[in-house]
Amino acid sequence: MMSSTNSSSPSNIEIKYTKIFINNEWHKAESGKTFSVINPSTGEEICQVEEANRVDVDKAVEAARKAFEIDSPWRKLEPSARGSLMRQFASFLRRDIDYLSKLETLNNGKPVEESIADINVSADCIDYYAGWVDKIVGETIPFSHDSFVYTRHEPVGICGQIIPWNYPIMMLAWKLGPALACGNVVILKPAEQTPLTALYCAALIKEAGFPPGVVNILPGDGPECGNAIAIHEHIDKIAFTGSVEIGKKIQIAAAQSNLKRVSLELGGKSPLIICEDVDLDFAVNIAHRAIFNNAAQNCTAGTRTFVHAKIYDEFIARSVALTKKRVIGDPFDSNTKQGPQINESQFNKILDYIESGKKDGAKLECGGTRVGTKGYFIQPTIFSDVEDQMQIAREEIFGPVMSILKFDDYDEVLTRANDTSFGLGAGVITKDLTRALSFAQRLQSGSVWINDYDVICNQAPFGGFKQSGHGRELGRYGLEQYYEVKTVVIKLV
């Protein structure tokens, strides 16, 4: 279902920041270059943003190195004072949520209500990690009677952070929160498709009182700016969220430079297994949300929906009926549930996958075409009769395409669910608790959701198995990526 328009957006959103943020100051790119930022709802330019390159990365590294010196204002801060700065930043996110949510929707295309939710969750994430600053503790270790042994958890140093375009503010918070809580300094590159809210957040970081050089935000592309961060000899750690292809390149660059620490959160092809004992409407609604949330631009999207043969036909019928009611269009319209895909390249890629599904013999139940003539809107699409070897069942589409696969044996479906190079998320819907817990144990993924899907909280770790990455974000485990462990041994004399 379409909303009345699919191309409007408020014309009065002022774009306040388009420059590079280094050392708490705004800079033009050393190259003199800018790049275009596009509104995915219209395909039209929003503004030009300064394009950082290797020279700008070098400038940011120098600022960060100075900020990380042992006698710098940042390093001298008591943990509680560091936490207060983080809480102030979080409070400014909430204070400016009306402007920020509109800016996020203008740049990313997600419905504005979802942008509001993302910003609230992001502020909560910063607050959560602010609470950790005085609890990052080592331990005393028993040794000989005349020795005292203890450990210290110390910040890694300069952290390069490269974030994606699907959750711009949330990914910024996931990266900044644990890094700052541990006392690191940061060089963050937002996705070139969605730099605007990250740059606004830079202004809030300065307003909150963070010392110069602690957080530096550099808009730019991956091959130039992102690569310069990955290969830099004075950046001590890199965190990346994005594709497997780029994740591999970053890991190679880290190894070939200074062997910097790397944490990666990459793609997914997540299975959702629906058993025959479910309440059907309940299962249909969860499966619908699992794939179509955020226009299916979600690394954990439940793109492989395995449905028991006994309920297969009815599940398809009800899923199609629900999907045809989904409102697509103007993300500033309160009735809209699905906005555009992020850009023309991704839009065309998704349509190509839909064509491959048809060609491979899957049955197109609904959707499959673009919506409107402006912007990058695609109908939510359902394929049935999908086989495991089909391209739409093997590759990450990152678009609103649900693939429904039939099964009738539980051991078999677990084998099929695990038959993927990914392992980020998985779900099972059943009333049988024993079966659910058995599935949770046997599914090869970083998160398993039972009778729900894609439920993420700041307190619980998030990350992947296999080629979905390594390292964890969020929770106590997220801190481990941002501190070194030092052992101190004292001879008692």
CATH code at 457?
A: 3.40.309.10
**Residue 252: count of CB within 10 angstroms of its CB:** 12
CA distance 419 to 322: 29
Rg (CA), the chain: 23
> CB-based contacts of 482: which residues, under 8 Å, 6+ apart?
155, 156, 159, 178, 179, 181, 182, 184, 237
pLDDT of residue 10: 66
425 close to 447: Cβ distance less than 8 angstroms: yes
What is the distance between the terminal CA atoms of the chain, rounded to a whole angstrom?
79
Give the separation between CA 170 and CA 315, rounded to whole angstroms.
33
Contact predicate 369/378, CB 8 Å: yes
Q: Output the pLDDT for position 21.
A: 98
Question: What domain count does the chain have?
Answer: 2
Secondary structure string (H, E, C) spanning the chain? CECCCCCCCCCCCCCCCCCEEECCEEECCCCCCEEEEEECCCCEEEEEEECCCHHHHHHHHHHHHHHCCCCCHHHHCCHHHHHHHHHHHHHHHHHCHHHHHHHHHHHHCCCHHHHHHHHHHHHHHHHHHHCCCCCCCCCEECCCCCEEEEEEEEECCEEEEECCCCCHHHHHHHHHHHHHHCCCEEEEECCCCCCHHHHHHHHHHHHHCCCCCCEEECCCCHHHHHHHHHHCCCCCEEEEECCHHHHHHHHHHHHHCCCCEEEEECCCCCEEEECCCCCHHHHHHHHHHHHHHHHHCCCCCCCEEEEEHHHHHHHHHHHHHHHHCCCECCCCCCCCCECCCCCHHHHHHHHHHHHHHHHHCCEEEECCCEECCCCCEECCEEEECCCCCCHHHHCCCCCCEEEEEEECCHHHHHHHHHCCCCCCEEEEECCCHHHHHHHHHHCCCCEEEECCCCCCCCCCCECCCHHHEECCECHHHHHHHHEEEEEEEEECC
Give the dihedral sign, CA 275/278/284/288.
negative
69 and 191 co-located in one domain: yes
* Pair 207, 298 in one domain: no
**Whether 270 contacts 304, CB under 8 Å:** yes
Residues 337, 232 share a domain = no
Torsion angles phi and psi, residue 407, rounded to 5: -145, 160
| Residue 336 falls inside a structural domain | yes
127: domain CATH number is 3.40.605.10
> Per this entry, what is the length of the chain?
493
Report pLDDT for 469.
Answer: 97
* Mean pLDDT of each 10-residue bin along the chain, 493 residues long: 53 91 98 98 97 98 98 97 98 98 98 98 98 97 96 98 98 98 98 98 98 98 97 98 97 97 97 98 98 97 98 98 97 96 98 98 97 96 98 97 98 98 98 97 98 97 98 98 98 94
Q: How would you classify residue 183: left for phi > 0, otherwise alpha for psi between -120 and 50, otherwise beta? A: left
Both 253 and 369 in a single domain? no
Q: What is the greatest pairwise CA distance in the chain? A: 81
What pLDDT was estimated at residue 3? 57
The tokens of 1 are what?
Answer: 């279902």
- In this structure, are 199 and 295 located in the same domain? no
Active-site residue, selected from the candidate residues 104, 265, 365, 396: 265
pTM of the model: 0.96
Q: Is residue 141 part of a domain?
A: yes
Is 51 catalytic? The answer is no
Pairwise CA distance, residues 139 & 152, whole Å: 8
23: left (phi over 0), alpha (psi -120 to 50) or beta: left
At 12 the pLDDT is 81
* Unique residue bearing structure tokens 């110069």: 212
Assess whether 205 and 284 both reside in one domain. no
pLDDT for residue 5: 45
* Residues sharing a CB contact under 8 Å with residue 219, sequence separation 6 or more, in sequence order: 20, 35, 49, 50, 51, 52, 189, 190, 192, 195, 198, 199, 225
In a domain, 154, yes or no: yes
> Does the residue 26 lie in any domain?
yes
24/64 same-domain check: yes
Look up the domain containing 212 and give its range: 20-266+468-488
- For residues 474 and 429, membership in a common domain is answered with no
Asked whether residue 320 is assigned to any structural domain, the reply reads: yes
Q: Per the domain annotation, does 15 fall within a domain? A: no
Structural domain includes residue 189: yes
* pLDDT the model gives residue 347: 98
Residue 1 has a pLDDT of 65
Residues 338 and 237 in one domain: no
Same domain, yes or no: 478 and 427: no
| CA proximity to 329, closest of 112, 82, 48 | 112
Shared domain for 52 and 162, answered yes or no, is: yes
Question: What pLDDT shows up at residue 4?
Answer: 44
305 and 262 in a single domain? The answer is no
Question: 76 lies in a domain?
Answer: yes
